[in-house]
Amino acid sequence: MFRAVKHVVVVAKAKKSGAEPALSAFASHFSAASTAQRLAGKVAVITGGASGIGKATAAEFVRNGAKVVLADVQDDLGRAVAAELDADAACYTRCDVADEAQVAAAVDLAVARHGRLDVMFNNAGISGALTPVPLASLDITDFDRVMAVNARAMLAGVKHAARVMTPRRRGSIICTASTAGVLGSVAPHPYSVSKAAVLGLVRAVAGEMARSGVRVNAISPSYIPTPLVMRTMEEWYPKATAEERRRIVEQDVNEMEGTVLEAEDVARAALYLASDEAKYVNGHNLAVDGGYTVGKPPNMPAPAQ
């Protein structure tokens, strides 16, 4: 902001003197903005940070000046991800998000290590049983397991982030939902219900959080070939090669011509919501799906030519 004000002054002075502002004044302004660390000095907890979207987000956050605590149940992977990032900036802690006490401990670790928590990225998730079954045969214990990680744990994450953020009157909480929480029939029912619950959770708490200066938002990605999705593809297409399964995810499901959805795209959406650029964005579901959830062709034959 200060840089922007300074730039306006430079332009105004140049106009007054009749001179065109030097191109270098613009160039220096824009180059400074493009290299700015958008999370400088911020502290984040990322659940599910050992893999996929969480891992990509950890890298994006550290690149932008944040300190991150990776919370996951894959210890070797989590430690390796933290070690790959700047050791001063990233650490790993074992945290099964289905256990509220472990979520509380991950939040407390961030505060003990770095003095505060600015960003809570509730991102850990599981797919649940993958074999398609008719509704009448649905395994309700699978529903309980999926809800414990994808929905109940999100509420625990929001609760404990709020515990340390509301006294400081600031913070950004981000929850990974899914296109499956917006549309039915794109994933097994327990997963869909759990992700719809994440969107409901964000809507339920955003007003209360706003009055404490804390924002809560969701991100809903479409299919990305992370380990979670590739395990699903193996189950659904056992005869396909790894390359064919990847093609299904990256091309057949894809809405956007000429590009492919990657974990890094979700990481950049999280970066925006975590940063002060999103200071008035609250209770929002940021779909990163190429428009998949806003359109559906009608169930009728194509118009005659």
Ligand X SMILES: NC(=O)c1ccc[n+]([C@@H]2O[C@H](COP(=O)([O-])OP(=O)(O)OC[C@H]3O[C@@H](n4cnc5c(N)ncnc54)[C@H](O)[C@@H]3O)[C@@H](O)[C@H]2O)c1
What is the set of active-site residues?
A: 178, 191, 195
Q: Does 123 bind ligand X (CB under 6 A)?
A: yes
Q: Does 120 bind ligand X (CB under 6 A)?
A: no
Q: Does 60 bind ligand X (CB under 6 A)?
A: no
Helix (H) or strand (E) holding 43: strand 43-47
CB 173 within 8 A of CB 209: yes
Region of residue 76 (left: phi > 0; alpha: psi -120 to 50; beta: else): alpha
The alpha helices in 35-152, defined as continuous H runs, are 52-63, 75-84, 100-114, 140-147
Q: Does 64 bind ligand X (CB under 6 A)?
A: no
Region of residue 290 (left: phi > 0; alpha: psi -120 to 50; beta: else): left
- Burial (0-12, 13-18, 19+ Cβ within 10 Å), 202: buried
- Burial (0-12, 13-18, 19+ Cβ within 10 Å), 277: exposed
Q: Which stretch binds ligand X (CB under 6 A): 27-35, 46-54, 238-246, 268-276?
A: 46-54
Q: Does 97 bind ligand X (CB under 6 A)?
A: yes
Q: Does 188 bind ligand X (CB under 6 A)?
A: no
Give the nearer residue to ligand X in terms of CB position, either 7 or 121. 121
Q: Which stretch binds ligand X (CB under 6 A): 106-114, 122-130, 158-166, 233-241?
A: 122-130
Q: Does 143 bind ligand X (CB under 6 A)?
A: no
Least Å from the CB of residue 176 to ligand X: 4
Binding site for ligand X (CB under 6 A): 47-48, 50-54, 72-74, 95-98, 123-126, 149, 176, 178, 221, 223-224, 226-229
